[in-house]
Amino acid sequence: MKFTEKPMERITVEAEDMIKEISTLEPVSISKLDSGSTMAVFVDIINGFINEGAMASERVGDIIPENARLLKICNEKGILTTAFADCHEKNAAEFASFPPHCVKGTRESEIVEELKEQGGYILIPKNSTNGFNEQKFRDLIECHPEICTFIVTGDCTDICVLQFCLALKTYFTAQDRLVKIIVPISCVETYDAPFHSSDFANLAAYKLLKDSGITFVSGISG
């Protein structure tokens, strides 16, 4: 890996361009999507990343209202909906990379109350940052070959959402199947921490996902 002369200047210009681009994104109406061929995937909107525990972030909590609204719309339209929930054993291998979190059987591993109240989703516990690796999800998409549009929301934009979207996209690409993956900006977020700027992480994820053919919109309207 090497850097060109004055890399920060180039990075700053590109970042400013992306921020402007994001500010001009438009919402998409749920009525524009075929409910019979659309799946909504809510990634890790759980207590352990929002309300309590070593990985909880108040910033991530800001996306709850928009996600609850979207889940309500999906239920009303009869859209197939799934919800991933991070769920680990006490000695999980993932704890070598992240602090212990969302241990099985604890409140941290549960979907937040605002989404629980709406219900209507297929719950899929996951034991890694990438929910696509869960057999329950793989079985679900194989049982529903009619699904060709995915709405993906949740956290964290640069970790679980990013990895899931890229795995989903490349899975269908390998089969020469065209699918549309839509990420509403108002429904995804990441956390702030030392050496993890949420602004930088969100922009990096946006760049990588967009370059891979993922569609971004400002939100989903009813």
Q: In the structure, what pLDDT confidence band is assigned to residue 10 with cuts at 50, 70 and 90?
A: confident
Alpha helices in 27-186 (DSSP H): 58-61, 64-77, 113-118, 135-143, 162-174
pLDDT at 98: 93
- Dihedral (CA of 61, 66, 72, 77) sign: negative
pLDDT at 11: 87
Which residue range forms the structural domain that includes residue 94? Answer: 27-221
- Dihedral (CA of 167, 209, 121, 108) sign: positive
pLDDT at 41: 98
CB 158 within 8 A of CB 202: yes
pTM above 0.75, yes or no: yes
Residue 165's closest CA among 30, 1, 10, 39? 39
Average pLDDT over residues 6-26: 92
Quick check: is 7 in a domain? Answer: no
- Distance (Å, whole) CA 189 – CA 158: 8
What is the DSSP-derived secondary structure letter of residue 198? Answer: H
What percentage of residues in the chain have a pLDDT greater than 90? 93
| Sequence-separated (6 or more) residues with CB below 8 Å from residue 122 | 80, 81, 82, 83, 140
What is the pLDDT of the chain when averaged over all its residues?
A: 96
Quick check: is 10 in a domain? Answer: no
pLDDT at 198: 95
- Distance (Å, whole) CA 189 – CA 182: 15
User: CATH number of the domain that 96 lies in?
Assistant: 3.40.50.850
Quick check: is 17 in a domain? Answer: no
Quick check: is 50 in a domain? Answer: yes
Please give the tally of structural domains in the chain. Answer: 1
Quick check: is 22 in a domain? Answer: no
pLDDT at 4: 76
What is the DSSP-derived secondary structure letter of residue 133? Answer: G
Structure tokens at 15: 């970042």
Q: Tens digit of pLDDT for each residue in 140-197?
A: 999 999 999 999 999 999 999 999 999 999 999 999 999 999 999 999 999 998 989 9
CB 134 within 8 A of CB 160: no
User: Could you tell me the CA-to-CA distances from 33 to 43, 76, 119, 146, 149 in Å, in that order?
Assistant: 20, 13, 21, 13, 8
Quick check: is 192 in a domain? Answer: yes
206 C-beta neighbours (distance < 10 Å), count: 22
Q: In the structure, what pLDDT confidence band is assigned to residue 222 with cuts at 50, 70 and 90?
A: confident
Residue 127's closest CA among 157, 155, 158, 95? 95
Quick check: is 138 in a domain? Answer: yes
Quick check: is 73 in a domain? Answer: yes
